[in-house]
Amino acid sequence: MADKVCSFCQGTGWVLEDSGRRAVAKRCQCYSEQQNKVLFEQANIPKRYRDCTLKNFEIHNPSHRDALKISKQFIKNYPIQDVGLLFIGPCGVGKTHLAVAICRELIENKNVPCFFYDFRELIKEIRNTYTPDSLLSESEVLTPIFQGEVLVLDELGAKRTSAWIEEMIFYIINQRYNHKKLTIFTSNYLDKEEEEDKRDSFYKKGEDSLVDRIGVRLRSRLYEMCKIVDIGGDDYRKIAKQASYRF
């Protein structure tokens, strides 16, 4: 279905403005709205996260407040911002929510092409290109990953590493790093070499750490290219659900 034609420019994207002696063509307001819509569609944000904004991010503890503040600063600084973000924390604390909200703000306010990928999906899609009947080539899958001004790589480490995965992910991330493109990562895996803290109890005992999942080399690259944002606290979706059960 076609969109309603803009009444200011009749769909041309240009309006004439009187600048005294003669009329000057200017971009109509609908043009950037249309551009933003296209950018948002191209950003590949999963349906369940599409409504995530900075405004509807819930604050339940000081680490949520800090994470929100850092996210706002990141948006404000862009494009001068020179490091990406790595949101680390257990499931359900809002890491992906913030990553998506940052993309939305960058698209709407700064027309920045952003691109969202779930780590496991990415691995799967790259693998699929190796099958003989694949419709896409590896480079077709990787182009938006390399070219997106801001890339969100969600659930980093959610798939066990193999030498192949480690190599591929390092290659992707390193390419972005070399081209000074910002990447926002989220991960459920506690970074164990950091000082142990109370939040440790929220992670399952005996579970892998980030370094077990992605390897030492990639972890150290992440530290060079990202600010680490720890988000602690229990799963607030669970807390809300539990609080609604009355006994």
122 binds Zn ion (CB under 5 A): no
Cβ-based nearer residue to Zn ion, 15 or 106: 15
Q: Which of residues 3-42 bind Zn ion (CB under 5 A)?
A: 6, 8-9, 28, 30
Cβ-based nearer residue to Zn ion, 25 or 136: 25
Stretch that binds Zn ion, among 2-10, 66-74, 148-156, 196-204 (CB under 5 A): 2-10
Calpha distance 62→87 (Å, rounded):
15
**Minimum separation from the CB atom of position 41 to Zn ion (A):** 19
**Minimum separation from the CB atom of position 13 to Zn ion (A):** 6
CA-CA-CA-CA torsion for 147, 152, 153, 156, nearest 10 degrees?
150
Cβ-based nearer residue to Zn ion, 32 or 61: 32
CA 54 to each of CA 65, 73, 102, 166: distance values in angstroms, whole numbers, following the listed order: 11, 12, 8, 32
Residue 23 sits at the vertex; the CA angle it makes with 20 and 25, to the nearest 5 degrees, is 135
Q: What is the largest CA-CA distance in the chain?
A: 77
Q: Which of residues 177-216 bind Zn ion (CB under 5 A)?
A: none
Residues that bind Zn ion (CB under 5 A): 6, 8-9, 28, 30
